[in-house]
Amino acid sequence: MDTQLKKNKQNPRKTAINVLIHVLLAVLAVVWLLPIAWIVLTSFRAEPGAYTTTVLPQEYTLNNYVKLLTDRNVLDFPKMFGNTLIISIISCIISTFLVLSVAFSLSRLRFRFRKPYMNMAMILGLFPGFMTMVAQYFILKSMGLTEGQSIRIGLIVVYSACAGLGFQISKGFFDTIPRSIDEAAIIDGATEWQVFTRITLPLSKPIVIYTVMTSFMAPWVDFIFAKVLCRANADQFTVAIGLWNMLQKEYIYQWYTCFAAGAVLISIPIAALFLYMQKFYVEGMSGAVKG
């Protein structure tokens, strides 16, 4: 009887809180989804130009996509897409490897420079990367990586070079893997490399996926360094520069809706990568050790 009463008293309050929470979540969902919905709608809009009087397109068309992919004279989007894809994939492979191995070394090996290195990385990480863009340009120029095809290599170098500093999150994850598992493997006959590839990496799938995603995303969406290195070499443009150019005064009327289509297209590799990677998410560490 007593508990019954209490329940009845609490229920309206609980409901009110629930309603409040759901309203808040709904508002947030709209805030987050609206720009995406809007850009998708714009990419199918038939009327050109940036400014329209209606929220929803008057007419729908696929022409924006067709133009984006076929009109290769003014702004060669397929070329840019290919450029960026190559650069991103190669930098992704290099920097994933670097990030994970640096994190593993810092988590598992003990060497004299370990602590100073971590402190240094922390401090360097506080500065924005583009602070050094002029210096990077001149360094790459002296290496001959700023002209023609070698711009791509230059970009890969730029994007992979900072990987040694991005170890914090993976190191934090590796630290949670009990050391005795490593030691068991070492006694079972594994080398440090085998411990890394056969024990640590399979146990760290979520963080490996995270690292692959971030190291792919960073070059894929980067604008500043691409702009600095490519300058006017249109055949080396990446999608970020291309999309930005579509919004310039001389192109915007013709290209605005194509810009929207391009924005939709560049999200496809990221989504595909994520969907592919998602299946590797498996249950974590349970069962390894007691307590």
Partner 1 sequence: MATLSLRHIQKIYPLRDDDKEEKKRKRRKKGEEPEVKKSHNLKITDEGVVAVDDFNLEIDDKEFIVFVGPSGCGKSTTLRMIAGLEDITRGELYINGRLVNDVQPKDRDIAMVFQNYALYPHMTVRKNLEFPLEIRNTPKEEMAQKVEWAADILGITPYLNRKPKALSGGQRQRVAIGRAIVRDPQVLLMDEPLSNLDAKLRNQMRAEIIKLRKSLNTTFIYVTHDQTEAMTLGDRIVIMKDGDVQQIGTPQQVFDQPVNLFVAGFIGMPQMNLFDGELVERDGKYAVRIGETEIVLSQDKQRNLADANAKPQKVIVGARPEHIILDGGNGPLIEGVVDVTEMMGSSVHLHLDVNGKDCVIIAPRLELNAGHLTVGSTVRFTLAPNAVHVFDPQTEKNLECR
Residues engaged in binding partner 1 (CB under 8 A): 178, 180-181, 183-191, 194, 198-199, 202-203, 282-283, 285-291
Closest distance to partner 1 from the beta carbon of 102 (Å): 23
Query: With respect to partner 1, which residue has the nearer C-beta, 41 or 181?
Result: 181
Q: Which DSSP symbol is given to 123?
A: H
Of 126 and 282, nearer to partner 1 (C-beta) is: 282
The number of residues making up the chain comes to 291
The secondary structure of 146-202, three-state, reads: CCCCHHHHHHHHHHHHHHHHCCHHHHHHHHHCCHHHHHHHHHCCCCHHHHHHHHHHH
> Minimum distance between the CB of residue 198 and partner 1, rounded to whole angstroms?
8
Provide, rounded to whole angstroms, the least separation between the CB of residue 95 and partner 1.
25
Beta bridge partners of residue 60, listed in sequence order: 45
Residue 112: CB minimum distance to partner 1, A? 10
| Shortest spacing between CB 176 and partner 1, in angstroms | 12
Contact 61, 45 (CB under 8 A): yes
Cβ closest to partner 1, residue 48 vs residue 178: 178
> Could you give the CA distance from residue 262 to residue 242 in angstroms, rounded to a whole number?
9
Burial (0-12, 13-18, 19+ Cβ within 10 Å), 40: middle
> Would you say 12 or 291 has its CB closer to partner 1?
291
The residue (of 124 and 289) whose beta carbon lies closer to partner 1 is 289
